[in-house]
């Protein structure tokens, strides 16, 4: 049996290069909003310092104690300002590194990189059907974790006001400012349900939304990294090779390259597009379970959006949601069949069972929409 699985794109999830650039710009926008918050805090701390230096002590125990307190407070405020400056430097370095890696997937296309968010949005919406996919754009930008660990970059950074960033990118996409926050909320609720399946705690754990989102969005496509890992690669090399493999191979050899791989990964489409003579059950057994969970919740969020945002009489929205559900049901059926009939070639049967558990929860969620 051929154990090499092919992953094909699904029209329901397809995002063109304008859409991918749009997502990158939105993530950069979130980071820039956070940098502005840090800069404002630095300014506030610096404004306090001159006042502390002007304080004087003129003898007496009370004045001496007051002077000592002021000196200690001044030292603390100076340390605080220095810490904020370091935070700003580290976050700017992260954004530079992340942006370089993200734009590399689009071959550093300068016309896309130099375009404004509005220009990219308008170009993306030139195709009428892309109106229905704006939610996929926002979802990827919202679920891409700002300051996620990058290879060779220190941990510990965090977004100071995530809600503010989500509100801005929601309006940039033409939605109300609450939509991005609802994506995070729905995703967190789903991950909690996965972790307490049928009222019991699963042996493996998803340690909160933040940890699971390290496998979401453009920052760290874990599915691509897993595929690259089957080639004997690790880290950034595995991710790049996996993205190219998903995209049908390197551009030099007639494939769509990393950009093509990202287009297929958007919205959870990579899992549903797994086809071919290989073992789907074996494939999902090698994927991080949080990556599978995030892929599934993206599908749930998208179907919910299509069915609640548009009228029941909207033909294209109905067709799109039907195609997504049909693709999910086909993938789930193939994975279950493969698991039962070809268990002897599955390297991690317990991992496959856990992945199928996640799909059962997804089925229940889709049935309740």
Provide the pLDDT for residue 304: 96
The 10 Å Cβ neighbour count of residue 9 is: 21
Instruction: For residues 309 and 290, give the distance between their C-alpha atoms in angstroms, rounded to a whole number.
Output: 28
pLDDT digits (tens, 9 = 90+) for 70-125: 666 656 667 788 899 999 999 999 899 888 888 887 776 789 999 999 999 999 99
Q: Which residues contact 353 (CB under 8 A, 6 or more apart)?
A: 339
pLDDT for 68 beyond 70: no
Closest among 249, 225, 79 to 150, alpha carbons compared: 225
Most confident of 146-150, 153-157, 190-194: 190-194
Instruction: For residues 252 and 273, give the distance between their C-alpha atoms in angstroms, rounded to a whole number.
Output: 23
pLDDT digits (tens, 9 = 90+) for 22-63: 999 999 999 999 999 999 999 988 887 665 444 454 555 555
Instruction: For residues 110 and 297, give the distance between their C-alpha atoms in angstroms, rounded to a whole number.
Output: 33
With both helix axes pointing from N to C terminus, report the angle between 222-229 and 289-309 in degrees, rounded to the nearest 10: 140
Instruction: For residues 365 and 153, give the distance between their C-alpha atoms in angstroms, rounded to a whole number.
Output: 37
Instruction: For residues 136 and 130, give the distance between their C-alpha atoms in angstroms, rounded to a whole number.
Output: 10
State how beta strands 274-275 and 6-7 pair: antiparallel
Q: How far is CA 163 from CA 33, 168, 181, in A?
A: 11, 9, 7
Instruction: For residues 115 and 260, give the distance between their C-alpha atoms in angstroms, rounded to a whole number.
Output: 20
Q: Which residue has the tokens 């992260």?
A: 94
Residue range 238-252: mean pLDDT, rounded: 58
Provide the pLDDT for residue 201: 46
Q: Which residues contact 194 (CB under 8 A, 6 or more apart)?
A: 202, 206, 293, 357, 358, 361
Tell me the whole-structure pTM to 2 decimals.
Answer: 0.81
Instruction: For residues 67 and 204, give the distance between their C-alpha atoms in angstroms, rounded to a whole number.
Output: 55
């Amino acid at each position: 049996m051929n154990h090499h699985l092919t992953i094909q794109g699904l029209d329901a999830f397809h995002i063109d290069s304008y859409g991918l650039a749009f997502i990158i710009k939105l993530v950069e926008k979130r980071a820039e909003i956070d940098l502005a918050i840090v800069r404002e805090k630095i300014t506030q701390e610096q404004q306090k310092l001159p006042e502390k230096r002007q304080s004087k002590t003129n003898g007496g125990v009370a004045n001496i104690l007051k002077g000592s307190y002021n000196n200690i407070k001044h030292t603390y405020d100076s340390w605080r300002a220095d810490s904020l400056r370091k935070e700003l430097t580290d976050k700017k370095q992260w954004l530079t590194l992340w942006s370089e890696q993200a734009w590399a997937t689009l071959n550093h296309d300068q016309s896309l990189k130099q375009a404004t968010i509005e220009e990219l949005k308008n170009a993306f919406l030139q195709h009428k059907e892309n109106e229905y996919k704006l939610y996929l754009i926002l979802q990827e930008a919202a679920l891409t974790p700002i300051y996620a660990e990058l290879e060779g970059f220190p941990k510990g950074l965090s977004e100071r006001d995530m809600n503010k960033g989500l509100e801005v990118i929601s309006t940039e996409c033409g939605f109300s400012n609450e939509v991005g926050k609802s994506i995070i909320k729905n995703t967190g609720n789903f991950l909690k349900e996965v972790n307490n399946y049928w009222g019991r705690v699963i042996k493996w754990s998803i340690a909160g939304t933040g940890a699971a989102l390290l496998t979401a969005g453009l920052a760290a496509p874990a599915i691509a990294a897993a595929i690259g890992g089957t080639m004997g690669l690790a880290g950034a090399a595995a991710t790049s090779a996996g993205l190219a493999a998903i995209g049908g191979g390197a551009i030099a050899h007639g494939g769509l390259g990393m950009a093509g791989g990202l287009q297929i990964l958007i919205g959870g489409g990579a899992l549903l597009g797994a086809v071919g003579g290989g073992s789907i059950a074996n494939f999902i057994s090698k994927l991080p379970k949080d990556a599978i969970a995030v892929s599934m919740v993206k599908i749930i969020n998208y179907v919910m959006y299509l069915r609640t945002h548009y009228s029941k009489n909207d033909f294209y929205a109905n067709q799109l949601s039907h195609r997504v559900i049909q693709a999910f049901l086909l993938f789930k059926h193939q994975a279950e069949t493969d698991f039962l009939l070809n268990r002897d070639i599955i390297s991690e049967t317990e991992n496959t069972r856990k992945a199928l558990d996640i799909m059962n929860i997804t089925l229940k969620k889709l049935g309740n929409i």
